[in-house]
Amino acid sequence: MFAYILKRLLLMIPTLFGVLLITFAVIQFVPGGPVEQLIHQLKGQGPGGEASSGATQIYRGDRGMDKERIEKLKALYGFDKPAPVRFWEMMKNFAVFDLGESYFHHKSVTQLVISKLPVSISLGVWTFFIVYLTCIPLGIAKAMRDGSAFDVVSSTVILVGYAIPGFVLGVLLLVLFGGGSFWDVFPLRGLVSDNWAALPWHAKITDYLWHMVLPVSASVVGSFAVMTMLTKNSFIEEIRKQYVLTARAKGLSENTVLYKHVFRNAMIPLVTGFPAAFIGAFFTGSLLIETIFSLDGLGLLSYESVLKRDYPVVLGTLYLYTLLGLFAKLLSDLSYVLVDPRIQFESVSR
């Protein structure tokens, strides 16, 4: 297993390099870079980098600015160096986890990500635990009652929830329970109240949970269908196998057959996806959910960094997310061994 882990770790290097190289190359051809963005802000034309009039939306770039000032702006952002040099310097910084500094926020990318994490963790982790703790028991119950009225009704409900986009449900929840046309039950915006720091510790917890009800509800409803149906189908597949019939023929109780024999095998596809889902929960960012509920998280940061051509944020977060995704995938593969000892990675690594 050590050889397999070492091989996977070494393969992460060219994977990261390839992802960053392709993204960096694409960025070189994207119009309206940070220099042009700053020029238009200085000229009072807004951050869009494009003319606001005319059917063709002609890009005006650096028109009306002297070349010496433009060169100073390029040097400020490091664009006075050739692209290969900039890419090499970026990779050297990434190797020591220096993700650079944002062009527009004037903070390091690491500080920006950390400052946005409370929102993303709140949405992601709560959604993760609610989905797993609800869908697995529900999927088992549906598998044991396959074809019954309970199975049909529950499938209909979760599929309807799956069909409703999260942002549409979020707007509906705000209208119904956020003080719109109906009931004023939950807060409209933010992660906590403005006076949160002055509240006692128990009131802080209550206030935080009260603010999380609507955004988590909007995020979680669409996730029920996939996990529930995956659990149900996995258990049905195992229940129909020969060893289950043999166990029942020996006179074992239904609970013993289910939880001692079926449960471990049926949980393999669910448990192996657990590490990736758990790590991803800490960095979940939903732009629309965050915008609707006025939550300043990673989703909004990613969107604004692309819109403003904030390349250090774009590339720094891409590097971080790709690295975490590769480690999560490795943990998912290793979890196969813990769940099913029959799998041996030594033979795979040869």
Nearest CA to 288 out of 309, 278, 303 is that of: 303
269-322 per-position pLDDT tens digit: 777 777 777 777 777 667 888 888 888 888 888 888 888 888 999 999 999 989
Q: What are the angstrom distances between the C-alpha of 85 and each of 23, 107, 150, 220, 340?
A: 16, 23, 63, 44, 48
> What residues contact residue 290 under an 8 Å CB cut-off, 6+ apart?
119, 123, 296, 297, 299, 300
Please classify residue 142 by burial: count the beta carbons closer than 10 Å to its beta carbon, then call 0-12 exposed, 13-18 middle and 19+ buried. buried
| CB-CB contact of 206 with 197 (8 Å) | no
**Residue 22: pLDDT over 90:** yes
CA pair distance 287, 302, nearest whole angstrom: 8
pLDDT value of position 130:
92
Q: Of the given ranges (30-44, 52-66, 195-209), which has the lowest mean pLDDT? A: 52-66
Identify the CATH assignment for 116-298 out of 3.40.50.720, 3.30.430.20, 1.10.3720.10, 3.40.50.150: 1.10.3720.10
CA pair distance 196, 208, nearest whole angstrom: 9
Confidence of residue 20 (pLDDT cuts 50, 70, 90): very high
**Percent of the chain predicted with pLDDT > 70:** 88
pLDDT value of position 267:
80
pTM of the model: 0.78
What is the amino acid identity at position 8?
A: R
> In terms of DSSP H, where are the helices of 145-297?
149-163, 166-177, 201-220, 224-239, 242-249, 254-256, 263-266, 268-271, 274-281, 287-292
pLDDT value of position 166:
85
SS3 252: coil
Domain positions in the chain: 116-298
pLDDT value of position 90:
92
